[in-house]
Chains A and B, each alone.
Chain A
């Protein structure tokens, strides 16, 4: 019975009309609503939505028939899942061992100080996020930074401050022209 209910639900669009929920439905169907697919589905949700909102977690809880408490337990256990949206621009600094010994901690500290955010934080206006990563696997080019999807190697505090400053200048120009 419950299986039937779920399948019917999956064929209907999400009430918000948001197409992205279809990806979740599809994945749930692919794994035949098995409970062990939870991690896979959370991964897909994170990729599709960029973060896991409470509403999204409830939706997954419903479609897999797993209590919300369990979903929350699993989702908060793993580092890849985030619960807040990222900023418009984001900067990921690798703090793996190789990058650390070449000074990536300074990059995080200096960027954080300048823009008053901690590693993992977003500016209050949602414009810029500073994220740290445990090894991006490009240790030969340490320290490695990913700025808006572009991977850059052998960076320093100065070079990064310059690049991030440029992003903030852009924002000022935008607001100035409005």
Chain B
């Protein structure tokens, strides 16, 4: 398919959407689904079609995450010439009320005929329900104001189409400007220029380490090889984080577009999307996206009629946290045990099957199309000196509002917790924010004014990580919180290197001793030494960062550890 055809496809879809008087969006992302969104969506479909208005005027759309997961299921009504209205906690009854309020019902309802077929009967029943609902509309407590700090403090780049489009429709993505970046790159830019543009934008890896993406691409571009690979890292193992899943599920084409641009930039013509096995919907939607893209010649031999060819395949992970590490991930794609190896050589020189390979996180690649269309300078204008752009966080824990948020780098932790998250539940006090999952640390209240970026979080003993942000209140015991993460690391340590395999178990044993009230002050010293040892001598990122939760809580909440030391045993030892 040529550029013109793709453009006209986008135009057609845009024109169709413009004609619609009302569009009712229902979030069917995983979080809302577990709150009952499947029922909400089917009721919405039934109710809208029972209204029997012209299908060119009203449509019900199943869309992706709207962000405020704690109020799910969510429905948004967009009417021509009016501000959109968002409803939360929408069950089947509320759905009927929403449709009764916003969608005009057919005037003459047929009387219920006993001989009518099942479908007609159901329709008439729904119509009667709608009619009744019209007289008892009470939606005030469901309306969520869109000028709430939860929404206005956010800046959407990666999530700009999430919750706006139907993830299964390539036309919808095209209508929202999808694949224009790819077209621009193929028509007007050399691979070298693409790498330079990404480098200038200041985009850094969103998977945790924060390596400059453009630099990584350029290394791989300069390698000479008959075959190069791109791997998308969608193995989101951090418990309490679901940013990448949402991006893969709700804008699969954005990930694909970023991936194809990356492939063009380094000269690769094959790519793997490595997706966590626990995300079946993401796998299904990405596979479908690849199929649709192939049909439109966006993937395949001669992409969009150029002499660049590219193919992609989805690979399913099977649940191993260490596979987030790039060399481990490569082994996993090769069908082996996902164990890391010593670097160098870096994958950009010798990766998958010994060929130059780049591995980028889902969110990193999802930034790429926007950087190309809006320019590196625009992107570099957001954020702090060394951390550019936005970051998606999965905001969870004991907050009033939780969900998926995208904020500019440099926003303070306090703004995230108290403005976006609307403070701590039940009026309790903020104790700590945990970022970076099992590899990160806890940040206490006196750093709430710190701007969030890669450097600051590292300085505070945590990491940016992939974007899990869990807030805990003062009922949480920090040593047992640290033990929770250590338990995770023990379980996930791949066993290759000694410090991580044995060290994590020993740290957990010491924490257990402490929590059972059998530890002495020398045990706490031992704990500190051991943490430093594991941190400095482990082979890969998992081991090197595994002590972070313990070290950071020891730093900021030492009194909690001190309170657990058994005086009796300590004195006994001293007496000896």
8 shortest A-B CB distances, which residue pairs?
A: A140-B69, A97-B240, A96-B239, A78-B318, A98-B396, A79-B319, A151-B34, A139-B396
Task: Number of A interface residues at 8 Å Cβ cutoff, please give it.
Answer: 39
Also in contact, A100 and B484, with CB within 8 A (given A39-B332, A139-B240, A140-B402): yes
Q: Does A93 contact B (CB under 8 A)?
A: no
Contacts of A105 in B (CB 8 A): 484
Which B residue's beta carbon lies closest to that of A97?
B240
- Cβ 8 A contact of A37, one of B70, B335, B398: B335
User: Using an 8 Å CB-CB cutoff, how does the interface string of A113-129 with B read, 1 for contact, 0 for none?
Assistant: 00000000000000000
Contact B402 A43 (CB under 8 A): no
Residues in chain B near residue A80, CB distance under 8 A: 277-278, 318-319
Contacts A100-B484, A141-B69; is A39 near B335 (CB within 8 Å)?
yes
Between A and B, 29 residue pairs with Cβ closer than 8 Å are A36-B334, A43-B318, A74-B335, A77-B320, A80-B278, A81-B318, A96-B240, A97-B240, A97-B396, A98-B396, A98-B470, A101-B472, A105-B484, A134-B321, A135-B238, A135-B241, A137-B31, A137-B242, A138-B30, A139-B241, A139-B242, A140-B70, A140-B396, A141-B35, A141-B72, A144-B34, A151-B33, A153-B34, A153-B35
**Closest CB of chain B to A46's CB: distance in Å?**
8
B551 → A minimal CB distance (Å): 17
B338 within 8 Å of A (CB atoms): yes
Task: Report A73-100 residues with CB < 8 Å from chain B CB.
Answer: 73-74, 77-81, 95-100
Q: How large is the interface on B (under 10, 10 to 19, 20 to 34, 35 or more residues)?
A: 35 or more
Shortest distance between the CB of A50 and any CB in chain B (Å): 15
Cβ–Cβ < 8 Å partners of A140 in chain B: 31, 35, 69-70, 72, 396, 402-403
With an 8 A cutoff between CB atoms, is A107 at the interface? no
Q: Tell me whether A79 and B30 are in contact in the complex, defined as CB-CB below 8 angstroms, given that A36-B335, A43-B277 are known contacts.
A: no
A28 on the B face (CB < 8 A): no
Which A-chain residue is minimally distant from B320 (CB atoms)?
A78
From residue 453 to 503 of chain B, which have CB atoms closer than 8 A to chain A?
468, 470, 472, 476, 481, 484-485, 488, 494
The reply on A136 being an interface residue by CB < 8 A is: yes
Given that A96-B239, A97-B470, A139-B394 are contacting pairs, would A79 and B69 also be in contact in the complex, using a CB cutoff of 8 Å? no
Q: Does B141 contact A (CB under 8 A)?
A: no
Which B positions have Cβ atoms within 8 angstroms of A?
30-31, 33-35, 69-70, 72, 237-242, 245, 277-279, 315-321, 332-339, 394, 396-398, 402-403, 434, 437, 468, 470, 472, 476, 481, 484-485, 488, 494
CB distance from B273 to the nearest CB of A (A): 13
Q: Given the complex, which residues of A lie within 8 Å of B245, measured CB to CB?
A: 137
Within the complex, the shortest CB–CB distance from B387 to chain A, in Å, comes to 23
**Is there a chain B Cβ closer than 8 Å to A35's Cβ?**
yes
Asked whether A142 is an interface residue with its Cβ less than 8 Å from the other chain, the reply is yes
Given that A136-B34, A138-B34 are known contacts, is A39 also in contact with B69, CB under 8 Å in the complex? Answer: no
Please, which residues of chain A bring their CB within 8 A of the CB of B333?
36
Closest partner residue, chain A, to B237 (CB atom): A134
A73 to B332, CA, bound (A): 12
Find chain A residues with CB under 8 A from B402 CB.
98, 139-140
- CB neighbours of A99 from chain B (8 A): 240
For B335, the chain A residues whose CB sits under 8 A away are 35-40, 74
Q: A134-B237, A136-B278, A141-B35 are in contact. Are A98 and B319 (CB under 8 A)?
A: no
- A108 close to B (CB within 8 Å): no
Contacting residues, chain B, for A79 (C-beta < 8 A)? 318-320
Task: Flag whether A22 is at the interface (Cβ < 8 A).
Answer: no
Q: How far is the CB of B249 from chain A (nearest CB, A)?
A: 10
Q: Chain A residues near B481 (CB, 8 Å)?
A: 101
A101 touches B476 (CB 8 A): yes
How distant is the Cα of A138 from the Cα of B35 in the complex, in angstroms?
A: 9
Inter-chain contact A73/B337, CB cutoff 8 Å: yes
The reply to whether B239 and A95 form a contact with Cβ atoms under 8 Å apart is yes
Instruction: Tell which of A78, A102, A144 touches B338, judged by Cβ atoms closer than 8 Å.
Output: A78
Which of the residues A37, A95, A97 comes within 8 Å of B468, measured between beta carbons? A97
Q: Chain B nearest CB: distance from A41 CB in Å?
A: 9
Q: A97-B470, A135-B240 are in contact. Are A42 and B337 (CB under 8 A)?
A: no
Q: Would you call A141 and B488 a contact (CB within 8 A)? A: no
Q: Tell me if A97 and B315 are in contact (CB < 8 A).
A: no
Closest CB in chain A relative to B35 CB, distance in Å:
6
Is B35 a contact partner of A135 (Cβ separation < 8 A)? no
